[in-house]
Chain A
Amino acid sequence: AQSVSQHNHHVILSEAASLELGCNYSYGGTVNLFWYVQYPGQHLQLLLKYFSGDPLVKGIKGFEAEFIKSKFSFNLRKPSVQWSDTAEYFCAAIQGAQKLVFGQGTRLTINP
């Protein structure tokens, strides 16, 4: 079965540190990729998405992600995190008419 893996379960950083969250998918062929964020007590929000084109995707709140096809990866990055970035982050993938599959999620804690 197709799967999405997030290897970092809980990441703790200090403010202004750089962030990179890993995401790997098992799909072959064309795949659409997403990063969602879930702030405490709030609903899932789309950070960014990759469908095609430039593999470096820029999203909201200063986040970006790079699609590396050869590595089946779509890692999320932010050069300088803020306390308000504390949240749960989910990577997800979909292929064609199949269902959206989520990774296990990464809890990010930013210490002020």
Chain B
Amino acid sequence: GAVVSQHPSWVICKSGTSVKIECRSLDFQATTMFWYRQFPKQSLMLMATSNEGSKATYEQGVEKDKFLINHASLTLSTLTVTSAHPEDSSFYICSASGQGFSSEQYFGPGTRLTVT
């Protein structure tokens, strides 16, 4: 149980375009979803936390207007990278939990974004 999926698994887009990444909890209701960014050979950095039905909470230094997060249901959260630039190329990973921060997070497989 506790499976989280992401779509797409990889995407290539041109600079200036927007890209949407979906994160779904397949067999449980995710009251909280998290979005991380992982640079090559580095650790995961939390970008934002989203609770179903409310606005996401962004970490310091993360542009909320650039990385739009929507958590419209208990099984789906989306991350939209707006006006993407090459420096946005990265591995984006979502995770989900059923009870907020203190409970275990289940991670998705990640989405590799390449902006040309």
Q: How many A-B residue pairs have CB under 8 A?
A: 45
Q: Is the CB of A105 within 8 A of B110?
A: no
Which residues on A sit within 8 Å (CB–CB) of B42? 104-105
| Chain A 82-112: CB-based contact to B (< 8 A → 1; otherwise 0) | 0000000010001011111011110100000
Interface 9-mer from B11-19, B67-75, B79-87, B98-106: B98-106
Q: Is the CB of B100 within 8 A of A97?
A: yes
Q: Taking the nearest CB of chain A, how far is it from the CB of B92, in angstroms?
A: 12
Q: Taking the nearest CB of chain A, how far is it from the CB of B40, in angstroms?
A: 11
Which residues on A sit within 8 Å (CB–CB) of B95? 44
Interface majority SS (helix, strand, loop, mixed), chain B: loop
Q: Is the CB of A99 within 8 A of B46?
A: yes
Which A56-88 residues have a C-beta within 8 angstroms of B?
A: none
Across the A-B interface, the 6 shortest Cβ-Cβ residue pairs: A43-B109, A44-B107, A102-B43, A97-B101, A102-B44, A104-B43
**12 interchain pairs, CB-CB under 8 A:** A43-B107, A90-B43, A96-B101, A96-B102, A99-B49, A99-B101, A100-B46, A100-B101, A100-B105, A102-B43, A102-B44, A105-B43
Instruction: Identify the B interface with A (CB < 8 A).
Output: 34, 41-46, 49, 59, 93, 95, 100-102, 104-105, 107-110
